[in-house]
Amino acid sequence: MFKVFFAEWRKLRRPTLFLGTFLAALFFNGLITSFIYLMIDSEGGNSDRGRKVGREVLNLASGSVYGFSSIGGLLGIIVLCVFAAQTSQEYTYGTLRNLLVRQPKRLTLLAGKYAAMKSFAIVLVLVNAVVSIAISIYLSDRATVSTDLWFTSAGWSAIAHTLVNVYISVVLYAVIGIALGILLKSPISSISIALVWLLILENLIGAVKPATLKWVPGNQLSIIAQGGSESISYSHAVIVGGAFAVFALLLSSFIFVKRDVAN
């Protein structure tokens, strides 16, 4: 599996992919974190769906990672797209047959790919956490937000919890991305279906019938990143979101192992 892991990293580290993904993530990270502080007094709200996040929230020990937890879902979607494309391109380029000739144990190949994905996600999450917290510190004065509690033991604990939550969310998104790549064998199909579902259909369904938001995968994974929400508990999100990801993992692994590689 280590051979697969290192071989995967030879592909993941190429500048267009690695820097492209990180720059895109950092751009949205900077935008969203800055928005929370710069628009703190805006009547239109300063968070997602027009919600207002006030100083009383940002002054808390968890204030330093509020911005970071807000972008958890977005990081997940970016990683989902990257790994859906990476996986499905093995079919469209025909490179999967080369990989399987060099590593015929298909589960080992898949496990190595997952291991590489998880390590990629760790780096992405850590870099974005550092940048988000740095932006928060930089803009806290301007927004007259107190940072007194941010680096107390409770503050560090909040940072650690948020890191873990965002990481879990990002990995589960990536698992679904890899599964879509295996099932659909096409980068365009897998990414477009994922984006249409996550960004449009889930929101439409939620707007028509809000109760369904407790059961749709994208919302659960975003809520895991945020550590829970007012309407959906963290444990509920982990169970439902995790169930979706495990189902995707098992189904795609079964198909990856059993399906003839005929292209």
Partner 1 sequence: MVSLMTTLAIEVSDLTKQYENLTAVRGATFSVPRGAICGFVGPNGAGKTTTIRMLLGLITPTSGSAKVLGESVSNPEKYLSFVGAMIEGPAFYPALTGSENLRVLATLGGFPVERVEDLITLVGLSGRGGDKYKTYSLGMKQRLGIAAALLPNPALLILDEPTNGLDPEGIQEVRDLLKKLASEGTTVFVSSHLLSEIEIISEHIVMLRKGEVVFAGPIEELLMNQKPTIIVRTEEPNDLEKIAAIATAEGHKVSIRAGEAHIEGPHDWAPILNKKAFEAGITLAQLTPTLPNLEETFFEMTGGK
Identify the CA nearest to 195 among candidates 119, 91, 81: 81
* Nearer to partner 1 (CB atom), residue 105 or residue 142: 105
Alpha-carbon gap, residue 138 to 43, rounded angstroms: 23
Task: Tell me whether residue 44 or residue 104 sits nearer to partner 1 (CB atom).
Answer: 104
End-to-end CA gap in the chain: 24
3-state DSSP assignment of residue 142: coil
Among residues 34, 47, 59, 103, the one that binds partner 1 under rule CB under 8 A = 103
Query: b/e map of 66-79 (b: 16 or more CB within 10 Å)?
Result: bbbbbbbbbbbbbb
Q: Does residue 11 interact with partner 1 by CB under 8 A?
A: yes
Among 108, 135, 127, which Cα is nearest to 8's? 108
Q: Positive or negative CA dihedral for 251, 253, 259, 263? A: positive
Stretch that binds partner 1, among 10-18, 48-56, 126-134, 178-186 (CB under 8 A): 10-18
Q: Which stretch binds partner 1 (CB under 8 A): 11-19, 29-37, 40-48, 230-238?
A: 11-19
Q: Binding to partner 1 (CB under 8 A): which residues in 58-97?
A: 89, 93-95, 97
- Number of chain positions touching partner 1 (CB under 8 A): 25
Candidates 43, 56, 230, 260: give the one binding partner 1 (CB under 8 A): 260
Contact of 107 with 5, CB cutoff 8 Å = no
Nearest approach, Cβ of 179 to partner 1 (angstroms)?
A: 21
142/259 with CB nearer partner 1 = 259
As given in the structure block, the two tokens for residue 94 are 């025909």
Binding site for partner 1 (CB under 8 A): 3-4, 6-7, 10-11, 14, 16-17, 89, 93-95, 97-105, 260-262
